[in-house]
Amino acid sequence: MAVTKSSSILVIGAGTWGTSTALHLARRGYTNVTVLDPYPVPSAISAGNDVNKVISKGQYSSDPNRMDVNEILGKQAMDAWFNDPLFKPFYHDTGLLMSACTETGMKRLGVRVRPGDKDENMVEMSTPEEFRKLAPSGVLRGNFPGWKGYFTRSGAGWAHARDALVAAAREAQRLGVKFVAGSPHGKVITLIFENNDVKGAVTADGKIWRADRTILCAGASAGQFLDFKQQLRPTAWTLAHIRLEPHERPLYKNIPIIFNIEKGFFFEPDEERGEIKMCDEHPGYTNMEPTPDGSSLASIPFERTQIPKECETRMRALLRETMPQLADRPFSFARVCWCADTPNREFIIDQHPQHPSLILGCGASGRGYKYLPSIGSLIVDTLEGKVSSRIREVVKWNPEGAVNRNWKDTLGRFGGPNEVMDFHNVKEWTHLKERNISKL
């Protein structure tokens, strides 16, 4: 049956991509859309539930098809961050420094720079003085040892991730989308597999949600509902906050994002709490556990508002090189944050080949927030069968590309030990006061 504007559509997951999908469905006039999530927006386990995320036009790729996808999604997203009244209030055009310290790191950075991008908007930097001047107030006091990089002055910055996510969900709701949130009512336990198709989902309260189309946007948890044939690897990264004293906050305001692809990154403090968020950069952590039939291992996400001590050490090392005055300040918050990596870090946005009523919006691969305003458009195009073959080639369901997958593949990421770590090997965690992040 062809999809119509009154077809019943079930979206599983009200995180970054599920919310974007709900918004695009509503904006295109779909009238019977329900979104299920075990948490109210912003979900405590959504990767988008964060104080800030880097927003830029996306990575350069020498593959023209991959570049097409990046360009389309990136352009639509940047247009919205700059102009759409829904998203504009949450975007801060602070500029973005991308840097590295080793030759390999610089080579990788060079590949990311698009030909033609090195104009007056992008400045190459290589001396500590140049890096320190990025904060006119003088708060970047570090020695930046061995740092080199590229500073994009404008057209790149950060968005208040959680607030933009909540605004998008509210707008979808205003336009008629029904959000069923909280456990057990919104917590999906299984898809309904019937006649070689998917006909909806069942929630933990036993309710059966039949639907003409089901869209799976469950982020790192998507593998619970479908055999992805090794195409998804839930991978976690780590973040922490430092709270500044009220009198210090103006000095750190408007500093650009300082991003070192081998060490980590941080942002200006947020307005509400005056906290600087930082991440240590590394290829990620898995949590490998035996699969239920015991035949293999799979990475299983879990929620934790603490981080391994080794991450704290790396973050403090980053601060020592950049803002040593903050290197020994206590952390006010920390969290592990999960995303799902595909074998080539391309997204899986496709109609399932064996279950035609199931649409996949999965595999955000650690780079999916910036597309909050645009990703739902591609997911709804997929639902409507409007995606060009060139684009589909990049984002298609592709189990052949995951045969004998190497779960330890760094996927071109650097930092820490330069290898994928596993939480089972972590000896010590932080002991911070817990904060309820579904009620932030």
Ligand X SMILES: Cc1cc2nc3c(=O)[nH]c(=O)nc-3n(C[C@H](O)[C@H](O)[C@H](O)COP(=O)(O)OP(=O)(O)OC[C@H]3O[C@@H](n4cnc5c(N)ncnc54)[C@H](O)[C@@H]3O)c2cc1C
> Is 34 a binder of ligand X (CB under 6 A)?
no
Q: Does 256 bind ligand X (CB under 6 A)?
A: no
Total binding residues toward ligand X, as defined by CB under 6 A: 36
* Number of C-beta neighbours around residue 392 at 10 A: 17
Given candidates 221, 287, 306, 357, which one binds ligand X under the rule CB under 6 A? 221
- 223 touches ligand X (CB under 6 A): no
d(CA 22, CA 28): 10
Residue of 92, 213, 263, 370 that binds ligand X (CB under 6 A)? 370
- Which 279-318 residues touch ligand X, going by CB under 6 A? 279
**Minimum Å distance from CB 209 to ligand X?**
11
269 binds ligand X (CB under 6 A): no
Instruction: Name the minimum Å distance from CB 343 to ligand X.
Output: 16
Closest CB to ligand X belongs to which residue? 15
What tokens does 219 get? 């982020």
Within residues 317-346, the interface with ligand X by CB under 6 A covers 337, 339
Q: Closest distance between ligand X and the C-beta of residue 187, in Å?
A: 5
Q: Which of the residues 410 through 439 are near ligand X (CB under 6 A)?
A: none
Interface with ligand X in residues 157-216 (CB under 6 A): 187-188
218 binds ligand X (CB under 6 A): yes
Q: Does 240 bind ligand X (CB under 6 A)?
A: no
Positions in 41-70 near ligand X (CB under 6 A): 43, 45-48, 53-54
Among 9, 17, 268, 391, interactor with ligand X by CB under 6 A: 17
Q: Does position 16 bind ligand X by CB under 6 A?
A: yes
Residue whose CB is less far from ligand X, 148 or 370: 370
Q: How far is the CB of 21 from ligand X (least distance, A)?
A: 9
Q: How far is the CB of 233 from ligand X (least distance, A)?
A: 13
Binding region for ligand X (CB under 6 A) out of 38-46, 75-83, 147-155, 392-400 = 38-46
Identify the residue among 157, 269, 368, 373 touching ligand X (CB under 6 A). 368
Give the residue with the Cβ less far from ligand X, 17 or 266: 17
Per-residue 3-state assignment (H helix, E strand, C coil) for the chain: CCCCCCCCEEEECCCHHHHHHHHHHHHCCCCCEEEEECCCCCCCCCCCCCCCEEECCCCCCCCHHHHHHHHHHHHHHHHHHHHCCCCHHHEECCCEEEEECCHHHHHHHHHHCCCCCCCCCEEEECCHHHHHCCCCCCCCCCCCCCCEEEEECCCCEEECHHHHHHHHHHHHHHCCCEEEECCCCCCEEEEEEECCEEEEEEECCCCEEECCEEEECCHHHHHHCCCCCCCCEEEEEEEEEEECCCCCHHHHCCCCEEEECCCEEECCCCCCCCEEEEEECCCCEECEEECCCCCCEEECCCCCCCCEHHHHHHHHHHHHHHCHHHCCCCCCEEEEEEEEECCCCCCEEEECCCCCCEEEEECCCCCCCCCCCCHHHHHHHHHCCCCCHHHHHHHCCCHHHHCCCCCCCCCCCCCCCCCCEEHHHCCCECCCCCCCHHHC
Q: Which stretch binds ligand X (CB under 6 A): 97-105, 149-157, 362-370, 378-386?
A: 362-370
Shortest distance (Å) from residue 355 CB to ligand X: 18
First to last CA, the chain: 42
Q: Is 94 in the site for ligand X (CB under 6 A)?
A: no
* Binding residues for ligand X (CB under 6 A): 12-18, 36-39, 43, 45-48, 53-54, 187-188, 217-221, 237, 239, 279, 337, 339, 364, 366-370
